[in-house]
Amino acid sequence: MVDILTTEELESKIKEFIELAEKFAEPYRQKIFEILLADYLRSKSPEIVPEVSEVAVPAVVPTPAPKFIIPIGVRAFLQQYSVPEDKIRKLFFIEGKEIHPTYQLKTTVVADAQIQLALMTALENALKPGGKFEFSIEAVRARCKEVKLYDQPNFNAIFKRKDSYFKSLKDEEHVELSLDGKAELADVILAITE
């Protein structure tokens, strides 16, 4: 016995199948719609619609995150100060473009820890695409608070005492490391990764 389909019924089902198929990723929508429609039509008139054999739906293959390449400026810095490149992976978890610090500062002197955190933040920023060896004073302040190394009354004074590490402290959003600062950063990297 064959059910007779009305145009309204068929239009309604097609709209329903389109809405359902659109919930899936673009490459699969067409095939899902075809399967739903064929199955529906087969249930209404089995002798008209051929049997749908196994449908080849492409498997979702996760694309691996692009391999992280240390920027040339950081590689030059590491080479200049004889710091092995593998030390970077000991300091940061890097996946694709995501960089997260994993290091632990070894000093317990708050003033030293604050400067080390600033230097390491500059390194982290240099690892980012188009990055430089620089940091924001506010970002370092937030990190110091986060790791309970914030010395509120002396925070700015500590930077001023170590001003030779920075090209300038005037632009607090872009404090760039000087040659002395980079040399100190190299020492900090080696101390942390020992």
Stronger pLDDT, 112 or 20, i.e. the higher one: 112
Please report whether residue 116 resides in a domain.
Answer: yes
- Domain extent at residue 23: 1-60
Statement to judge: residues 42 and 82 lie in one domain: no
- pLDDT above 80: residue 72: yes
Other CB atoms within a 10 A radius of the CB of residue 94 amount to: 18
Identify the band that residue 1 occupies on the pLDDT scale cut at 50, 70 and 90: very low
Neighbours of 123 (CB within 10 A): 26
The answer to whether residues 118 and 159 touch, using CB atoms and an 8 Å cutoff, is yes
Same domain, 21 and 98: no
Q: Which of 37-46, 98-107, 154-163, 169-178 has the lowest mean pLDDT?
A: 37-46
Cα(43)–Cα(17) distance, integer angstroms: 15
Residues 87 and 23 in one domain: no
pLDDT of residue 162 exceeding 60: yes
Residue 7 has pLDDT above 60, yes or no: yes
Tell me: pLDDT of 51 over 80.
Answer: no
Judgement on whether residues 113 and 179 belong to the same structural domain of the protein: yes
* Residue 3's pLDDT band (cuts 50, 70, 90): low
Q: In this structure, is residue 65 part of a structural domain?
A: no
- For residues 20 and 84, membership in a common domain is answered with no
Q: 34 and 111 in one domain?
A: no
Residues 49 and 76 reside in one and the same domain: no
Q: Burial level of 25, CB count in 10 A (0-12/13-18/19+)?
A: exposed
Supply the Cα-derived Rg of the chain in whole angstroms.
30
Q: Which amino acid is at 84?
A: P
Q: pTM of the full predicted structure? A: 0.65
For residue 113, give Cα distances in angstroms to 155, 161, 185: 11, 14, 12
* % of the chain exceeding 90 in pLDDT: 43
Where does a domain end: 36, 60, 84? 60
As for how many domains the chain has, the answer is 2
Question: At which of 17, 38, 60 does a domain end?
Answer: 60
Examine the domain organization and report whether 77 and 133 are in the same domain: yes
Average pLDDT over residues 78-86: 93
Instruction: Indicate if 89 and 147 belong to the same structural domain.
Output: yes
**Between residues 26 and 74, the one the model is more confident about:** 74
| Per-residue pLDDT tens over the stretch 93-135 | 888 778 899 998 888 889 999 999 999 999 999 998 888 999 9
Same domain, 40 and 84: no
If asked whether residues 51 and 147 sit together in one domain, one would say no
Overall average pLDDT of the 123-151 stretch? 91
Q: Is residue 66 part of a domain?
A: no
CATH code for position 126: 1.10.10
Domain limit, last residue, from 30, 60, 90: 60
Average of per-residue pLDDT values in the chain: 84
pLDDT in tens, 26-36: 777 788 888 88
* Residue 67 maps to a domain: no
87: which strand partners?
none
Q: Residue 173: what pLDDT?
A: 93
Q: Report whether pLDDT(81) > 90.
A: yes
Whether residues 76 and 139 fall in one domain: yes
